């Protein structure tokens, strides 16, 4: 039982490049979330999903897209990366109440 | 609107001291959950506790204890006899209990440094 996993762990992008972050959970949770963590800002919600095939915007959705084609996976896409998207990205899943987080992806956009 | 405030940005203590991390929240929901998470220097987020709004019983788990007071909208976390391994960023968080899938609202965190 791996819990929540994230791929990749670390990535460097140039401005304008695109990439996809993968989140996978093996707990059969309905709900999944993408957060970003920036110094002094805590964690802020980017997008979330309440079930397979559904997604919704969070607090800071601009510049990101998501997809939930399979219940266990939640993808976060950056179509044209910007330096302001340099951050640590956390995926989480939950069934009821407590959210369980992945190890994070550190993204640097130059 | 919902909000979580952790007024202490950084706290430094010496090993074996007791330390309390403050958390004050705002919500219009009548039922909600409160959480504490720990983020050690390695970066992962570790779930510590969840508390239901209708359960004001304080909880103790080893050296950790939590004081939930609905009257003051506070959910404070105390570490007794702190250890160097307790050094981490601690986040308090809130979510409504009756809205499926709602994300957590996090405070900005308190950085705890425990020196030997």
pLDDT in tens, A82-102: 999 999 999 999 876 778 999
CA distances from A5 to A25, A90, B101 (A): 6, 10, 19
Across the range B28-48, mean pLDDT stands at: 91
Lowest-pLDDT range, A75-84, B10-19, B45-54? B45-54
Q: What is the pLDDT of residue A61?
A: 95
How far does B11 lie from chain A, in Å, by closest CA?
15
Q: For residue A1, what pLDDT band results from cuts at 50, 70 and 90?
A: low
pLDDT at A42: 82
Please compute the mean of the pLDDT values over residues B15-20 and round it to a whole number: 97
Q: Does B43 touch chain A (CB under 8 A)?
A: yes
Residues of chain B above pLDDT 90, percent: 68
The answer to whether the beta carbons of residues A102 and A91 sit under 8 Å apart is yes
Residue B111 near residue B9, CB atoms below 8 Å: yes
Any A CB within 8 A of B108 CB? yes
Sign of the Cα torsion A102, A104, B2, A66 reads: negative
Query: Looking at residues A49-54, what average pLDDT do you find?
Result: 92
Closest CA to A7 of A107, A80, A108: A107
Tell me the C-alpha distance between B43 and A88, whole Å.
9
Residue B57 has pLDDT above 80, yes or no: no
Query: For residue B107, which residues of chain A lie inside 8 Å, CB to CB?
Result: 42
Least confident of A59-68, B12-21, B95-104: B95-104
Spatial separation of the C-alpha atoms in residues B73 and B102, rounded to whole Å: 20
A46 contacts A55 by C-beta, under 8 angstroms: no
Which of the four pLDDT bands, split at 50, 70 and 90, describes residue B96?
confident
Q: How far is B84 from chain A (nearest CA, A)?
A: 22
Residue B101 has pLDDT above 70, yes or no: no
CB B57 within 8 A of CB B13: no
Token code pair at residue B101: 């899938």
Is the pLDDT at A34 greater than 90, yes or no?
Answer: yes
Contacts of B97 in chain A (CB under 8 A): 97
B47/A99 touch (CB, cutoff 8 Å), yes or no: yes
Give the model's pLDDT for residue B103.
80
Least-confidence region, from A23-37, B6-20, B89-103: B89-103
What is the rounded CA–CA span in Å between residue B76 and residue B53? 14
Q: Give the model's pLDDT for residue B100.
A: 64
Name every residue whose Cβ is closer than 8 Å to that of residue A96 and which is 6 or more positions away in sequence: none
Average pLDDT over residues A19-39: 94
């Amino acid at each position: 039982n791996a819990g929540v996993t994230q791929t990749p762990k670390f990535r460097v992008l140039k401005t304008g490049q695109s990439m996809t972050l993968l989140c996978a959970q093996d707990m059969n949770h309905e709900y999944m979330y993408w957060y970003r963590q920036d110094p002094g800002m805590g964690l802020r919600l980017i997008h979330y999903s309440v079930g397979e095939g559904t997604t919704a915007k969070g607090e800071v959705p601009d510049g990101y897209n998501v997809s939930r084609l399979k219940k266990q996976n939640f993808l976060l896409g950056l179509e044209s990366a910007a330096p302001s998207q340099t951050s640590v990205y956390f995926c989480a899943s939950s069934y009821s109440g407590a959210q369980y987080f992945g190890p994070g992806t550190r993204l640097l956009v130059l | 609107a919902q909000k979580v405030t952790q007024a202490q940005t950084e706290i430094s203590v010496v090993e074996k001291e007791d330390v309390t991390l403050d958390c004050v929240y705002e919500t219009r929901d009548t039922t909600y959950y409160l959480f504490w998470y720990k983020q050690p220097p390695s970066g992962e987020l570790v779930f510590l506790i969840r508390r239901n709004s209708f359960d004001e019983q304080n909880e103790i788990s080893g050296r950790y204890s939590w004081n939930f007071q609905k009257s003051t909208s506070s959910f404070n976390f105390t570490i007794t006899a702190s250890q160097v391994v307790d050094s981490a960023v601690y986040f308090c968080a809130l979510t409504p209990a009756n809205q499926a899938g709602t994300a957590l609202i996090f405070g900005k965190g308190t950085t705890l440094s425990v020196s030997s």
